[in-house]
Chains A and B, each alone.
Chain A
Amino acid sequence: MVGDSTAGVGTADRLSLPPRAISEVRAGLGDRVYTAVVLASVWLVLLLAAGLVVALVWESWEAIRTFGFAFLVTSHWDPVAGEFGALPFIYGTLVSSALALLIAVPLSLGAAIFLAELAPSWIRPPISFLIEMLAAVPSVVYGLWGIFVLVPWLRDWVQPTLGRTLGFLPLFQGPPYGIGMLAAGIILSIMVVPYITSVSREVLLAVPGSQREAALGLGATRWETTRIAVLRYGRSGLVGAVLLGLGRALGETMAVTMVIGNRPEIAASLFAPGYTMASVLANEFTEATSDLYVSALVEIGLLLLVVTVIVNGMARLLVWSVGGPVRGTRE
């Protein structure tokens, strides 16, 4: 903006007019006020972001001071006795997210490749549209569907079958509750797919056409072109897309809370109920009776924030490395 740098001479890089045609482009009062207001709101955003971290650290300080590092590695969550260990939640978050990615990544990448490279042009808009509509469904609606449709299906069909056929694996042992880690992983995968698909598709579309042409010119088939020229070039961006999906899965609250069973224990089986960091916040925050309890919960929230910021930060940098930052990924 003109108010930022010395006005007049030198601003011609944004315009194609010679300097003397712009008469007296001083930073007048209007410019100064406008610039001040705009910069104020920019700094407000940055301060809010910083304030978010500060507020969480402030509220969780009591728990940090009381438990220290043990908070992250202890499994004992006993609000009545005032002993808090967050390991079951960390475990639950990681396992449900990992399961979600395991299911979602092949499907999303496949769909993204289909949409960006291999689909005939008439089919791209409707399928892209449907996938973006998936992203618009509120989390609580996924949870509702999960409780009344997915869980009975798992309980009556999927889990007994898995238990009979693959029951020798500790992953598939235990009573078929329906509710549990498997349900959470499946619901999360459905929620995460549209994000990975749309960002992957943008990454693949950002690959320069010259790469494809070079491969085709060397005699590659359609799939070979896609594999050699496009996927390899966009590899870091695709990793970034998967990380974005991971970031979303880590923080997902309502749908997971409704189907995971809310039991703060670590179990090897996917059929067992579990608990995630976001779920314990949703369930217990309004029930927290003591200051230490609230502080422990806020510390879990801080942990969640730190982890998702790191994952999302890395994801952004990777995605930007392919297309540039101003492409404006549409969430």
Chain B
Amino acid sequence: MSGLTFGAALLVICPLLLILGFLLYQGASAVNVDFFVHLPKPVGEAGGGVANAIVGSLIMIGLAVAVGLPVGILGGVYLAESRDLRLPWVLRFVADVMNGVPSIVFGIFAYTVVVLPMRRFSALAGGLALGLIMVPIVLRTTEEMVRLVPNALREAGLGLGLPQWKVSLRIVIPAARAGIITGVMVAVARIAGETAPLLFTALGNRFWHQGLDQPIAALPLQIYAYAIAPYDDWHRQAWAGALVLITLVFMASLAARVATRGRTIAR
């Protein structure tokens, strides 16, 4: 029986190794300085790049963090510190369910709420969609990390006469700071790879964006567009883009894991 389960575990890992292997094999040859620095070139011309996509992704991640970070952290602190019975349960349930909502549905929401009134596709809409995806992740990880702060710190602060809000803001949150940051990094790693919500909010752009209220390129969008195109050169660039994307995502995830090593609730 152990052998069977071990076999299952091995089978489960195989695809990861296959995918990484192919990414390296196909994508490594196409990744060069040009790739990072130039705009996409028309089909048939060599040497295009995905510079606008990388910058676009970074901009939208920044917007998403601006939306998701404050809401997520405050909500997480509430969940960890509140002694109410019903509202925290509701918030926790809603956050967990939001975690499971397909990301494309957030894209529809951003389309309805931002794109339709503004009558244009924009980086703002894309940033909002990504920020909404971030909120439940940041919320839950912040809650976990704030819970790990020892009660002795809170008691010491209160015992010294600090009001509750100062204890939370100046003692508890800074103590959980590293964990909260890694939670944000996990969320960023997740949204960096999201394509679906950007399809009809940010739309994509083959040039530099002209403003936050204009369509903007993003790395996953560019990979998708290249992958389904009929041109070999674009396929190569798709592999290269995927390699870059997965490297960034893995680095962020790895950094988050290393930072939270040993911080999980003891079993």
Contacts and interface: CB of A to CB of B under 8 A. Distances in A.
Interface of A: 1-5, 13-17, 21-23, 25, 28, 30-31, 33-35, 37-39, 41-42, 44-46, 48-49, 51-52, 55-56, 58-59, 106-111, 113-115, 118-119, 127, 129-134, 136-145, 147-149, 190, 193-194, 197, 205, 222-223, 226, 244, 247-248, 250-254, 258, 278, 281-282, 285-286, 298, 301, 304-305, 308-309, 311-313, 315-316, 325-329, 331
B102 A252 contact: yes
Contacts, number: 298
Nearest to B70: A41
A308 B100 contact: yes
Interface in B152-204: 154-155, 158-159, 161, 163-166, 168-169, 189-190, 192-196, 199-200, 203
B227 A140 contact: yes
A136 B165 contact: no
Contact of B165 (A4, A35, A39, A252): A35
Find the residue from A37, A110, A205 having the highest chain B CB count within 10 A.
A110
B109 A45 contact: no
Contacts of B22: 145, 148-149
Contacts of A46: 90-91, 94
B112 A56 contact: yes
Chain B interface main SS type: helix
Point out which of A33, A42, A48, A251 has the most chain B C-beta atoms below 10 A from its C-beta: A42
Interface in B99-119: 99-106, 108-109, 111-113
Given A31-B164, A108-B12, A250-B102, A286 B92 contact: no
Contact of B9 (A1, A21, A114, A326): A114
Interface residues of B, number: 100
Contact of A34 (B169, B235, B239): B169
Interface of B: 1-2, 4-9, 11-13, 15-16, 18-19, 22-23, 26, 70-71, 74-75, 77-78, 81-84, 87, 89-106, 108-109, 111-113, 132, 135, 137, 139-141, 143-144, 147, 151, 154-155, 158-159, 161, 163-166, 168-169, 189-190, 192-196, 199-200, 203, 220, 223-224, 227-228, 235, 238-239, 242, 245-246, 249-250, 253, 257, 265, 267
B96 A312 contact: yes
A14 B82 CA distance: 11
B246 A143 contact: no
B9 A115 contact: yes
B100 A248 contact: yes
A15 B97 contact: no
